[in-house]
Amino acid sequence: QTDNPEYAIWVADSDGYNPQRIVWNSQPFISPSWSPDGRYLAYVSFEHGGQSIYMHEVSTGSRRRLTSYKGINGAPAFSPDGRQMALTLSKDGNPDIYVMDIASGRLNRVASHYSIDTEPAWMPNGQEILFTSDRAGKPQIYRVSAAGGGSVSRVTSVGDYNTRANVSFDGRKIAMVQGNKNVYRIAVLDRERSDTGTVRVITSGPLDESPSFAPNASMVLYAAREGNRGVLYAASADGLVKQKLTFGDGDVREPAWGPFRPR
């Protein structure tokens, strides 16, 4: 959320109420990602000039800088067991997908190409990672082994623009941004329906982004534009129900639905 001149990451209830400001600065924060236990947020910060990826303990405010390489440090995503982080780095030239062991900081590059590879998302088995790449000319979603060294396979086959994969808890559905003639909508790929999956567009656009499944995959949280500011909506995974979330007057973007935590 931006409230000039401040940028901040907020945590709120799933209906948008009870917001709490977690971190703030005069420089932007982007790409928040929850750890599986809900204790930590990873995000990209611009507060030191370039990009850095931080791991931030929500309850205490303590944080650790994981990367601050030259160039892109982007799109952090915790593994299902919380021990690894997938991310995008351009430290060796082109943006590639890496997996970091959080405890040691050791990096393993799992997808490398002369194109742009970005936006990693873990499959629930922890063995595979989805990511966005324009290696075929236009951005599509691909899959690669989280251990690296394996072949890369294309996941999306419908449309010329599919990005920002977010996977349901059971791996059966993939939410994504689907673009067509400068209109961007949220679509859900249902992998149960056929070998290649069926795609249902669940929002109307024109600039919907950052899909994030609820813990039970019944709803998809996403960002939309109203006038000159960003707002948050939740849509049912079948697209039949849509609800605007109440969340202040700022420019709100890049939602991330937290994991289920018993009270």
Contacts of 47 (CB under 8 A, 6+ apart): 25, 26, 27, 29
Task: Judge whether 127 and 80 are in contact, CB under 8 Å.
Answer: no
- Residue 2: the pLDDT is 45
CA–CA dist 10, 123 (Å, integer): 26
Residue 22 predicted with pLDDT over 90: yes
Quickly state the pLDDT bin for 65 (edges 50, 70, 90): very high
Averaged confidence pLDDT in the chain:
93
Contact status, residue 29 vs residue 44, Cβ threshold 8 Å:
yes
For the domain 2-172, what is the CATH superfamily, name and number? Answer: TolB, C-terminal domain (2.120.10.30)
Phi, psi (deg, nearest 5) at residue 14: -65, -15
Task: List pLDDT tens digits, range 183-227.
Answer: 999 999 998 765 567 899 999 989 999 999 999 999 999 999 998
What is d(CA 9, CA 24) in angstroms, rounded to the nearest whole number?
A: 7
- For the entire predicted model, the pTM comes to 0.94
Q: What is the pLDDT of residues 230-263, one digit of tens each?
A: 999 999 999 999 999 977 778 999 999 999 766 5
Judge contact between 69 and 24, C-beta under 8 A.
no
Each domain of the chain, given as residue ranges in start order, spans 2-172
- pLDDT of 60: 96
Residue 3 has pLDDT above 80, yes or no: no
